[in-house]
Structure 1
């Protein structure tokens, strides 16, 4: 089966009208534990003429042993990158969509702190819904693109950078609470994770509204 390779077709077209493209993609949206992360990757005109890093794909399509290397090369290829986070507590408090917006704003704020001017950019957001501007970033131009992480190299870079960062965090949390086997399941609803919740209950890193409130459908 041939896996489609991301390209820079859309980015090059958008860069005719905007100084920068910022691509955003989320990781961890469906997990039971841990934060949600949003990766942001910046592409400018010079980067759009460079060769796309070999093996760059949507993070779900990159084999786990290769992800860290691909993410490192993607971070070198883009003009700038950042990862924004929203905690499990924040997800419980405000809901997943608003938490995604909050994580996006934090990623974009990190880019701004490193000299990127987001108002000069157009934001490619993977998916069909703009959760960034409702979270408070009304000054940005946001373009939701379905399957951007598959088709757009900038979004694939954001995806794999965020995935590696979140997986690393979940592995660190595993060392704190090994019963949930987060080093393997990364907080998602795997059978071993579900069984651990039945046995030990939830931890402070779980999304309580998901792990308890939806228990009849999860378990």
Structure 2
């Protein structure tokens, strides 16, 4: 490689990112050109941020590492989306991640913006060993109650896997109807990479479904509120009454049903 002094700043940038070694960084830091020194500063900050992110991801794998050491190599994280809304299904996902993956920004879906969830959704689908989606419809929620319907959706997500997992990591719940060893983790989407990945799969799947259902029932603006009891949704509920997507066992919907 030719000396830095014979390169313009664009060439130095290309060389630096091809060889971000301490020797190269040191040379750039000592270069008399401010632009070259700024390149070194920017790369160092990038490396530091990457190190912090790598540490955070490793912390999300503490439970997985314990189970991998015990011989449970295929771990399915399970989480749900949509327990609280007044309308639409509750959706669950089961996700088996490989021991090595590249999912920068992986986190509980509630901590992410929509654009970050969408990006990670595609990356998880590509990198996961396997994943399954399950749901329970509003009528099932009304018959079973939301807790039991959530467990049913989770069970269906496990049944949707083509690879049988060795162990389940579940956000807060235990699935007694699933004959697999399992660990309920309260706040699991903050503690487990597998559960965090499942939370993103479930959230994005449900949000997309509610956007599609908006075209059938546009008066409730499901594309915006995703079935949650926002002010505009409550106004529509009072004006039009419940639609077939509403959970009639939920108090705000039940109240409007009794009024109508």
Matches within 5 A, 1:9-48: 9-17=62-70, 18-43=72-97, 47-48=98-99
TM-score under structure 2 length normalisation: 0.73
Residue by residue over 1:119-143, the C-alpha shift from the partner in whole angstroms, topping out at 9 and shown as x without a partner, is xx1111112x32x21xx22x21121
Larger radius of gyration: 2
1:165 aligns to what SS in structure 2? helix
| CA RMSD after TM alignment | 1.9
- 1 CA distance for matches of 2:77 and 2:255? 32
Asked whether the 8 Å contact 1:171–1:186 carries over to 2, the reply is yes
1:123 correspondence with 2:168: yes
Unaligned runs of 5+ in 2: 1-51
Q: What's the counterpart of residue 97 of structure 1?
A: 147
- 2 CA distance for matches of 1:21 and 1:13? 11
TM-score under structure 1 length normalisation: 0.86
- 2 CA distance for matches of 1:77 and 1:153? 13
Asked whether the 8 Å contact 1:5–1:57 carries over to 2, the reply is no
Matches within 5 A, 1:75-154: 75-111=125-161, 114=162, 116-118=163-165, 121-127=166-172, 129-130=173-174, 132-133=175-176, 136-137=177-178, 139-154=179-194
Deviation at 1:214, TM superposition (A): 5.7
Which structure has the highest helix share of the two? 2
Deviation at 1:101, TM superposition (A): 1.4
Instruction: For CA contacts below 8 A with separation 6 or more, give which structure has more relative contact order.
Output: 1
- 1 CA distance for matches of 2:249 and 2:122? 35
- 1 CA distance for matches of 2:93 and 2:82? 11
65-74 vs 82-91, greater mean Cα deviation = 65-74
- 2 CA distance for matches of 1:88 and 1:140? 27
